[in-house]
Amino acid sequence: MQRTYVVILAGGTGSRLWPASKAAKPKQFLDLLGLGQSMLQLTYQRFAKFIPEKNIHIVTNRLYTKIVKEQLPFLSAEQIITEPVKKNTGAAVAYAMFKLKHLDPGCTVILSPGDNMVFDLDNFQVAMEQAIAFVRKQDVLLTFGKKPHQPDTTTGYIQYVNSAEGVGHKVKTFLDKPTAELANTLFRSGEFLQYTGTFVWKLEAILKAYREVMPDLYEAFSENESAIGTPDESKVMEKVFSFVENVSFRAGVVYKLPEKVRVMQANYQWTDLTYWEEVWKAHEKDYVGNAVSGRDVLMYDSSNCLVQVPREKLVIIKDLEDYIVVDSGDVLLICPIAKEGEVKSILAASRKIKIEKYL
């Protein structure tokens, strides 16, 4: 694994897990499951089991560089790739790839979100090793998909066909956030996997993909790559990021190249903690289904609730069922789990009362 590198994306805002996840400290830096470590720390450790630690890089925004250093203090400065301007994952991934080109142009790369949870580390390692062996033999972008257990309107889907190429299957199409009716159809068909955001590729394959479908962005980095590794890098990259396209990696590259993408079913237990309901499902629960984070929380005649409150606060909850209770110190959210999707629209409508300081 000496020529395999990991790039962990840790620059997102995770706004759906408000009020715990806020712009100043989003979800990848939080311990949402009460495990004593943030999701970023767990992601790093997951890869450090089989990838040389010096080969693991974190991509984040300059707002969060200090937090990354606090949570992963052993990283060298070169292992933290800082976006000078927020321009979505299309530019962030491209910058990371050109950084790796400067280090090892013939390497293989794993791209991973910094806010996913994996509970089956042995199978995860086996899957990554299989994926690395697969992409080293061909110029494809291999992603991982999760077999859906129920219809889901909040995620992206990958339709695939069984192929004889090995672990990676050919992709027919991508679908993002389907309607409830379509999600039910996709689930019943058995031909779709849910998008996980984890990729494996040869560096030369991803650079070729950028050059093909995002030529302006590719040229912007290519023309300025001589600054990488020099004292001028930060200033030059700030200029590059100021004018490149603001687009996600998924929309800018992946969806434009279905013929170059292969998908492998994730055999490991994986979850994307995007919503509070997913946090509740992944969290350790008591015998009546309550998932509680807090030292002095008293639950009476309550079940299937997610409760996250400060350790120093006494909280008494009576006669609640299927509720979220999240206290971030300056904000208290109490909401039925089934209606958490309405919170975002409520916040948008409430901006007239100047709530920005709480976001």
Residue 275, number of CB atoms within 10 A of its CB: 16
pLDDT at 280 exceeding the cut of 90: yes
| Structure confidence by residue, pLDDT tens digits, 41-82 | 999 999 999 999 999 999 999 999 999 999 999 999 999 999
Closest CA to 67 of 36, 34, 42, 30: 30
The domains of the chain, with CATH numbers, are 4-272 (3.90.550.10), 283-358 (no CATH)
Distance between CA 198 and CA 1 in Å, rounded? 18
How confident is residue 209, by pLDDT bands cut at 50, 70 and 90?
very high
Distance between CA 270 and CA 143 in Å, rounded? 14
Q: What global pTM score does this model have?
A: 0.93
| Structure confidence by residue, pLDDT tens digits, 149-177 | 888 777 888 988 877 566 788 998 898 88
Mean of the pLDDT values across residues 179-193?
A: 84
Half-sphere exposure of 234 (CA within 13 A, CB side): 7
Indicate left, alpha or beta for 36 from its phi (over 0: left) and psi (-120 to 50: alpha): left
